[in-house]
Amino acid sequence: MTGTTDLAEAVCADDGRLEGVDLRVLAQRLGTPLHVYSAPAIGARIRALQTALRGQDALICYAVKANSNLAVLGLMADAGLGADIVSAGELQRSLRAGIPAGRIVFSGVAKSADEIGDALAAGIGRFNVESKDELRLLQDVAAARGAVARASVRVNPDVDALTHAKISTGKSENKFGVGIDEAREWFADSTRLTHVRLDGLHVHIGSQMLCLDPIQLALQRVAALWRELTSSGYAINSIDVGGGLGVRYRDGQDQPVSVQDYAEVIRKTLDGFGGRILLEPGRWLVAEAGFLLTRVLRIKQGRQRRFLVVDAAMTELVRPSLYDAWHEIVPILRRPLPPQIYDVVGPVCESSDTFAVDRQLPPCEPGDLLMIKTTGAYGAAMASNYNSRPLAVEVLLERGRYAVVRRRQTLEEMIAGEQPARNWECA
């Protein structure tokens, strides 16, 4: 099992049903655009990774940024997962979803003093520290609170993740982490840290990786540092191997790695390590379990191109606009006629509001329901109100039933924090 084929089969919607729920009825009741998530598909991914890691002292910390819906986080909590967070907001979401503070790891390059203070007050398990300035700030905030923070240095191993430039994080020119030489200096000076226990290493080189070679190379460099530090007398109790496993966006082209092979790389590379291994999967757990339903508004025939205008936009799924990302698009009702070529576009007033160019699809008509696949990660999580569009409804499906896990935003909710400039003050 590759860890992807099983999901593709589990959420096949050729008959208009997903997890036993009629998507046409769902769209009629709740309107479109509409995000739907398969709870069984997410559960299958969780179990596959847990099975692959069996026998290792490993904690899976779900990368909340991939999909931060409380219901999705609740699935992670129920399965015993932790959380990898990058903001105080993600901290509060994780806690509210039932993820214990001790299973939460705080990553990110721009933690503020207030965010660090909130995390210390909650009792999170570990901070992944990205810069010397952040390490000093963590020491100061922890000292002021009379607390001791457990911390790992995020090592930038200068490894090309072989992925899109905008989601590569492990090269020396990227903003994330510090070089191996600087990491050594941190440990050499660690006796000065009265309120930070620096006893961990962290590495994460990118996202949507479809090859194990960069991951293995990065882990080899971290493993060498771990052994060097241990031989010098420093205790390394945690190694965070990051996340970044890729998923299948394009059938026949994207070939995700086997999760068993991934686990074996971790096992062999860190052989002999006696501490806890942390993992930060996000996209791999939720992307293929999510779909965006959208309805065709009209067909516009231009001089050179035929546009399929739908009611979803870059406000619901920004990945194609931001990364030129490919997402499979399929009609729920397929007409047995020769396919046509469309540019699939949304209603936002930007030329970049385009889901697909020169895409071959069965003939479509206004009112048809389409499914955009593999949107469970970085779909709703990156949504916006641009053009004053309300955030879309989100629904969780399982065993022939559905639950609305985020209702469609109203105009009043959208503008709730805005007000006329009536109360002027001087500063």
Q: Give how far Cα 69 sits from Cα of 61, 105, 378, Å.
A: 16, 18, 11
Q: Which residues pair with 83 in a beta bridge?
A: 62, 104
Round to whole Å and give the CA distance between 186 and 202: 14
Those residues with Cβ within 8 angstroms of residue 297's Cβ, 6 or more apart along the chain or in another chain: 309, 310, 311, 347, 366
Which residue among the candidates 12, 61, 349, 426 is catalytic per the annotation?
349
Catalytic residue at 349? yes
Round to whole Å and give the CA distance between 51 and 21: 29
User: Which helix or strand (DSSP H or E) is residue 187 part of?
Assistant: helix 180-188
Report helix, strand or coil for 5.
helix
Report helix, strand or coil for 356.
strand
In this structure, are residues 241 and 278 in contact, taking their beta carbons and an 8 Å threshold? yes
In this structure, which long-range contacts are made by residues 187-195, counting pairs with CB atoms below 8 Å and at least 24 apart in sequence?
187/153, 187/229, 187/232, 187/234, 190/234, 193/135, 193/139, 194/139, 194/143, 195/139, 195/142, 195/143, 195/147, 195/148, 195/149
In this structure, are residues 296 and 308 in contact, taking their beta carbons and an 8 Å threshold? yes
Round to whole Å and give the CA distance between 34 and 36: 6
Which positions are annotated as active-site residues? Answer: 349
